[in-house]
Structure 1
C-alpha cells in the first residue's frame, strides 16, 4: 500500500465516521472532503470540482424540474390520490403498491429520475394518509434501486457488464434477462419493508408531527364546519347568472356566504375572489358556507342551482381551489367592537370568515352579528391567491397559521396533458438512446417552460441543492481510489484469496466486493471495475461467464446500505428526515438477504457450465 493510498483511505474512513455521526450535516462533509482531497496531491482541485459538470449531476437537477412540472400541473397530486385511495388507511398495502409501481416505471427509465419524480407523489400520499414521509420514502428508494434489476436498460451497470461481455467475444444479455432476479427480489423487498419500516423512524415521526402545519380536516373539526360547506353550479334559468354579488346580497338575505367562485374556460380554470363587483356566469361553481342544519337543497331548488358532491371531509377535499388560514385580532385592530359584516373582511381581503374561536372554544352562534374582541381567532376561507396576500403586514388582522395544503396547490392544472406528454417524450428518448439521457431531460425542462408548466423561479426552487452537493462531493473519491491503485489492490486480493474456491462461494465474494465498493464509488464505476474481474474469475474456474457478470450487475444495484451508496438514496435523505444509521440498520440486513437470493437464483437461470447464453433470455 502506497502512502497516497493510505491517506485517501484515511480520509474515506473519516468521511464514513462523520456520516455515521451525522455531524456535521452531510453536504458540509462532502464540501470538506472536496476541499481536503486536493491537498493530498492525489487529485487536482479541477478534478475535485469536476462533479459539478458531471452529466449525471445535471441529469438529477433536470429531473427535479420535471418532477416539479408534474406537481404544478396536478399529475403528482392525482397519482398520489389514486394510490392513497387504492391503499386506504392500510399502510402495508400502501407500501406494496408504491414499491411495485416505482419498480415497474423504473424498469424503463433512470432510477434516479423515478425517485425525483415520485418524491412529491409520496409526500402527497403521506399528507393524505397521515403517515410520516419517512415511513414511505425509504421503500421508494429501495424499489427504485431494485428497478435496476428488472431490464437491460434499467440502469447503467447492466449496460456496462453487457458491453464487457461483448468486448470479450461473448453474446450479450437479452432485454429481460434480469427480470427473473428482479421480480423475486422486489417481492422480498416488499415483505421486508413492511416489517423494517415499523422499526425505523420514531424520531423522524415525532419531528414530522411536531412541525406539521394544521390541515383542512383539523380545522373543519375544531371549528365545527362539518356539513357547512357546499358546491353549487349555476344552471340555466338561475337568477344568479349575469348578476353581480353585491346585487344578490346572499349573506344578508339567505345567510349564505360565498367563499370562492370557480370559472372554467376552454383553456383554463380560474378561482375568483368573491368581491362585490364580480358578475356571475352560467356554469360558474360557487363554494359556499352556511349555518349548521341549513336547508341547502331548498336554496338550490329555488335558485336553479345544482348541488355538486364534496366527498369525504367536506371543504378539506376542495383544497386545490379553496384556501384556509387562521387570523388573530390584535390590540391595535380597528375591527374590535365591529361585527363580521361591519368589518368588511371579504371586501378588503377577498376572504370569508367561516369560524371564530375565543380562547380554545369555537363560537357556535351567528357569526354575522357577533362583535369582534381582542384576541379572537378567525378562520377565513377563500382563493389561495387571496391567502397568499395575507402574508403582507397588517394592523387589523395578524396571520397565525396557513393550512398545510398551501404547499399542494396546482397553479397550472390545465397544463397536465402537456406535462404528461413531455414526460413521455423524455422517457422515450431515454429508452431509445436517440440522445443522451441528460440532453433528453434538459429538452424536457425547456418544453415544460415553453408550455408554461413551470417557470424559472419554480424550476430553481425545485432543485434540491443539498443533495447535489453531497453527490458532487463524493465523486472525487472514485478518482482518488483509482489513481492510487486502491481498486486494483482490492480486485487482486479477491482473485488471490478465492480464485480456486467453489463457484457459489465466488459468487458470494463477487457480490460482497461489488456491494462494498459501491459504498464509496458510483455503481457504474463499480461495474466498470468489477466486470473484468468477474470474467477473469470465470475463466480461471473454467465456468460460464454469465452467472459471474450477472452477479456483479445485480450487486451494483444493491446499494441499500448507506445514503451515499447511490444518488437514489441521497435524494430521500432530506424529505425523509433520515440519518446515516437509518440506512445502515435497514440496508445491511436486506443486502445480505439479496446476496443469498442472488447466489441461489443466478446459477439456476445461468448454469456454471452453460456453453452459451440463450439469445433473448
Structure 2
C-alpha cells in the first residue's frame, strides 16, 4: 500500500537527520563531477569510496565489496577475450569481409555494417568494435564518394544495440543480472536479451535507412582519409624522408650505455628519437624509444630533426655517429611489431590546446609524434611544442600494441586510419581458428550453465593463452582498469541507497506519479528515468543505481522483478541522444563531422521508439 502524501512529506522533512541526506549529497556531487569531466571518472569513483569509508554510512567490507564481485572479474576477463579476437585478426577479417561484400550499394553497406558491428559487439567491447570499424567506414565512404555522416551515426547506433544482444555484451547487463541474483535468486540466461536486441536492431536498420538523409546530402564528400595508404605513402605524405634520419652508433660513441633521457637530445639539439633499430639473431628488431632506453653499440637511432640549423656533420663527428637517410623499408620490415597510424583528438578532451610535451605523449601512450596535418597542410618546426587543435591529424610511430591501446583505452585520441601494412601487424594471425573455438567454447558453457559465467570466461582466456592467441602482457594491458574502478566505485551507492531507505523513497515517489496508470506506464516512467540519468553518468553507473530501484518497485507492485530488471538493462544501453551519452557516440563525432544537434535529432526519436518497443515487448517475453 502506498503512503499518504502527508506521511511522505514527513519522511522527506526527516531527511536532514538521516544518513540518506548525505548519500544524496554525495550522489549529486559525483554526478556533477562526471558532468564537468575535470576529474577522471575512475578517480571520482575512488573519492566516492573514500567518502563512504570516512562517513561511516557503510562498513569497509561494504565499500570494497566490488573487488570480490564475480561480475567485475567477468568484465575484466571479457576484455581479454575481445583482445584475443583482435590479436588473431578475427575482428579485422570481419571488417575486410564487409568491404568486399558491400559492393557499391549504400543500403547494403549500411545493413551489413550494422549486422557486423552488433554481431562482434555481442562478444567484445562495443567501444573496441566501433574503433575497429571507424577507419573501415572512412575507406568505404571514400570509395563510394559519400559523406561519412551517412554511415558514422549508424555505426554508433549499432555499437549501442550490440549491448542488447547477449548477457556479456555490455557491463550494464552483468550489473543488472548480479542485482537480480542478489535480491531474488533469479538470473538471466546468455540469450535472454537476444529477442529484444534483434527487434531493436531491426527497428534501428529501418530507422537509419529512413533518416540517413537528415545527416548528410548526396553531394557531401568524404574527407581525404584512407586506411589503405602504406607506410611508404605516409612517409612521403608527411615529408618524413626530408626530416628524419638514421644514425648508426659507432664504437666509442658518447651515447653508448647511456639512457636517452641522459642525452638531452631534444632540449640541446632539437632531436627526437622515434625508435631504436637493434640487431638480434641476425635480424633487425625495432624498439620503442623511451627515456629509460639504454643505447648500445651498433644501434641505429631513427631521429626526427626539428632543428634545421643543426650542423649534422659536426654533431655526428662529436658523438661518433654515422648518418643515413630514412628508408621506407626501415619501418616496413618491422610492421609485425612497429608501425604508424593517424590519430585525431577526441572533441572536448583534455589534449585540446596541449602539446606533445605537455601530454608526455611518449611516456603516457608509448608512441612518438612524427607529423601533424592541419587543414590539409603539414606543419613544420618542433612538433613537440605545437598545441593540438580539434581536427588535427597526428601521425605517430610506435608498437602496434601501443597504438591498439590508444584505440581501446584512451578518451583523448582515437585512431582514424591505419596504413595498409597493418595486415602484417596481427601478432597471432595464424591462431584465428583457435580464437573462434575458444569463444564458442565460452558461449556453449555459458548457455548450458555447466559452470558459472565467470568460470566459462576464465576457461576461454586460458584457452586463448594456451593456443598463443594472447600473451600475459597483452592480456593485462587489454583490461580497461578505469572502467572496472568506475563500476567498483559506484557499487557503494546501490548498497547505501538500500541501507538508508533511499530506494524505497524513490520507488514510492515514482509510484505516486505513475502508479495509477497501469504497469506499462510504470515501465515507461522507469525507462525515462534511466534515460535521463544516463545523460549525465555512464550507462554502467546508471544500471548500478537503477537496478535496485526497479526490483524494489516490482516487489511493491507484487509482480515479477525480471521484466523491470530487463527494462533497466535495455534503457542503460539506449544512450543514443547526445554525443556524450556514451564513448561510442563521442568516437564518431569527429570523423562524422556531426554537431551536438545531430545526435538529438536522430537519437531522441529512436530512443522513444526503443522505449515503446521495450515497454510492450518485455512483458510478453518475461510475464509479470
The answer to whether the superposition gives a TM-score over 0.5 is yes
Larger Rg: 1
Moved more, 438-447 or 116-125: 116-125
Query: Matches of residues 223-234 of structure 1 in structure 2 within 5 Å?
Result: none
Q: CA deviation at 1:186?
A: 2.0
Shift of 1:428: 0.9
Counterparts of 1:384 and 1:413, CA distance in 2: 16
1:559 corresponding residue in structure 2: 572
Counterpart position of 2:505:
489
After superposition, the Cα gap between the structure-2 partners of 1:105 and 1:379, relative to the gap in structure 1 and judged at 3 Å, is closer
Structure 1 residues 164 and 444, CA, compared in 2 at 3 Å: closer, same or farther? closer
SS in 2 for 1:80: helix
| Alpha-carbon distance in structure 2 between the residues aligned to 1:139 and 1:334 | 52
* Counterpart-to-counterpart distance in 2, 1:389 and 1:147: 35
Deviation at 1:135, TM superposition (A): 5.3
1:523 aligns with 2:543: yes
The correspondence for 1:144, drawn from 162, 171, 184, is 162
TM-score under structure 2 normalisation? Answer: 0.56
Q: Distance in 1 between matches of 2:207 and 2:569?
A: 20
- Residue 54, structure 1, aligned to residue 69, structure 2: yes
Q: Deviations over 1:460-504 (max 9, x none)?
A: 222222222222222222112222211111112233343332454
Q: TM-score, normalised by structure 1?
A: 0.56
Counterpart Cα distance in 1 of 2:615 and 2:207: 19
Distance 1:53 1:482 in 2: 20
Tell me the secondary structure at the aligned position of residue 500 of structure 1.
helix
Q: Which residue of 1 aligns with 2:200?
A: 185
Q: Aligned partners of 1:56 and 1:45: how far apart in 2?
A: 20
Distance 2:136 2:493 in 1: 37
CA distance in 2, matches of 1:349, 1:592: 58
Q: 1:10 aligns with which of 25, 31, 35?
A: 25
Which of 329, 334, 350 is matched with 1:380 structurally?
329
For residues 409-431 of structure 1, the C-alpha deviation after alignment (integer angstroms, 9 at most, x for no partner) is 11222212211111111111111
Please state how far the C-alpha of 1:513 moved relative to its aligned partner.
4.6
The answer (yes or no) to whether the contact 2:81–2:460 under 8 Å persists in 1 is yes
1-structure distance, mates of 2:85, 2:336: 24
Residues of 2 paired with 1:65 and 1:536: CA distance? 40
Partners of 1:560 and 1:588 within 8 A in 2:
no
- Per-residue CA deviations over 1:54-110 (Å, capped at 9, x if unaligned) read 22222122112112222222212211211233335777654533433454577xxxx
* Aligned residue number for residue 414 of structure 1: 430
**Counterpart Cα distance in 2 of 1:36 and 1:487:** 20
Taking the aligned partners of 1:466 and 1:157, their CA distance within structure 2 comes to: 16
Among 229, 233, 237, the alignment partner of 1:216 is: 229
Matches within 5 A, 1:91-490: 93-103=108-118, 111=122, 113=124, 115=126, 118=129, 121-122=132-133, 125-126=136-137, 129=140, 138-147=156-165, 155=173, 181-192=196-207, 216-217=229-230, 219-220=232-233, 328=243, 330=245, 378-380=327-329, 382-384=332-334, 388=338, 402=397, 404-405=418-419, 409-490=425-506
Contact 1:429 1:435 in 2 (8 A): yes
Matching residue within 59, 69, 86 for 1:71: 86
Deviations 1:336-386 (A, max 9, x none): xxxxxxxxx9999699xxxxxxx9xxxxxxxxxxxxx99966433643269
Aligned residue number for residue 317 of structure 2? none
Q: Give the match's secondary structure for 1:559.
A: helix
Contact 1:514 1:530 (8 Å CA) reproduced: no
**1:339 corresponding residue in structure 2:** none
Residue 56 (structure 2) pairs with residue 32 (structure 1): no
Q: Deviations over 1:191-242 (max 9, x none)?
A: 55678999999xxxxxxx99x9986348449869xxxxxxxxxxxxxxxxxx
1:23 aligned onto 2:38: yes
Give the 3-state SS of the residue equivalent to 2:612 in structure 1.
helix
Question: Relative to 1, partners in 2 of residues 1:174 and 1:389: Cα closer, same or farther, differing over 3 Å?
Answer: closer
For 1:57 and 1:173, the matched residues in 2 are separated by 17
Give the total of aligned pairs.
444
